[in-house]
Amino acid sequence: MGPGSLNEMKAYNRVLLAAGVASTIAVLSVYAVSVKRRPEVSKPGVRRVVSLSTSAAETLIAIGAGSKLVGVDDYTKKCLPECRNLPSVGTGAKVSLESVLGLSPDLVIAWSYDGDSVRRLRGLGLHVAALDVPHGVQEVLDLIVRTAAEVGLEREGKRLVKGIETDLAAAARRERTPGPLVYYELYTGYKSVGKGTYTHELIERAGGRNLAGDSPVRYPILNSERIIEMDPDVIIVCEGGDSPEAIRARPGWSGLKAVRQNRIHVMPTKLSTPGPDLPKALRQMIKWFQTQGAEAPSE
């Protein structure tokens, strides 16, 4: 091969190299866009799941994939009967890495707000699906489908969501009298829910008026005097927060309409979780809102 042929070959190789780099960049660019637009989905072969989200565990159980769960967080183990015999790996914020590794999971499901735990788990080479906290009801439904897709059962997730949508629509069609003013309290005293939360949306769908509905933030901490001034017809407290007895004992609260009429209700943990039990939570609220002057039985 002469000098001319050698130079031609080098030039040809440079062209091929440039073309290869350009193609690689193009492929990576498309992949980056697709990652931004679509959640990371596990392969259908996922068999061992550690869930640090009660919502995710509920969804897997609801779509018939509960047997894939090999470990859960403390909170899920406590509130879901189906998970009572599963190993606990701590909490989302304080997860035991050793416990998770010992369970050899194909997938770990966590909340994205537990960012430190997510980073540490991924640093160990584990596949972690980080779920964003849903705000409205539609986001809860999207979360269910996303969770199902992570274990290769997106079709089952969509089927579940379709049933939930039917149940929600059926419950909301019931005729109701003008809605009561509702004070909903989370696990921290005086912390409530505002617009942009699925709980606020459920209250409205059930025919109630959310006392904190005009708050500029999603989870406001309200002033006790303001609540007394608003005088709610119904008070709902999340299981694990203050008890009805503690609510009644708060200074100035004994005169509240909800207290006088014994309309303080405890929302079970299973119904306050953003998951498949949304229709049950809605029906429970409807029952409470329609019951006058007596404690409504829990479902």
Q: What is the pLDDT of residue 175?
A: 52
Residue 97 amino acid letter: L
Residue 95's CB: how many other CB atoms inside 10 A? 23
Quick one: pLDDT band at residue 290, thresholds 50, 70, 90? confident
Q: List the domain boundaries for the chain.
A: 49-167, 175-290
Mean of pLDDT over the chain: 85
pLDDT of residue 173: 63
CA trace torsion 33, 38, 43, 46 (10° rounding): 140
pLDDT of residue 170: 87
Copy the structure tokens of residue 225. Answer: 């005097």
CATH architecture of the domain with range 49-167: 3-Layer(aba) Sandwich (3.40)
State residue 291's pLDDT score: 79
Predicted local distance difference test score (pLDDT) of residue 197: 95
End-to-end CA distance of the chain: 87
| Cross-strand bridge partners of residue 185 | 237
Residue 143 has pLDDT above 70, yes or no: yes
The predicted-structure confidence for 110-142, as pLDDT tens digits, reads as follows 999 999 999 999 999 999 999 999 999 999 999
State CA 170 to chain mean position distance: 23
- Mean pLDDT value of segment 56-74: 97
Task: DSSP for 15-46, please give it.
Answer: HHHHHHHHHHHHHHHHHHHHHHHS-----TT-
In the sheet that holds 69-72, the strands lie side by side as: 69-72, 49-51, 107-111, 128-131
How high is the pLDDT of residue 39? 45
DSSP conformation class of 66:
G
Better-predicted residue by pLDDT, 40 or 161: 161
Third-level CATH fold of 175-290: Rossmann fold (3.40.50)
Kindly indicate the confidence band of residue 159, based on its pLDDT and cuts at 50, 70 and 90. very high
> CA–CA distance from 149 to each of 46, 68, 167, 234 (Å)?
11, 14, 22, 38
What pLDDT score was predicted for residue 27? 34
109 or 1, higher pLDDT: 109
Q: Identify the residue with better confidence: 203 or 177.
A: 203
**For the chain, percent of residues with pLDDT exceeding 90:** 75
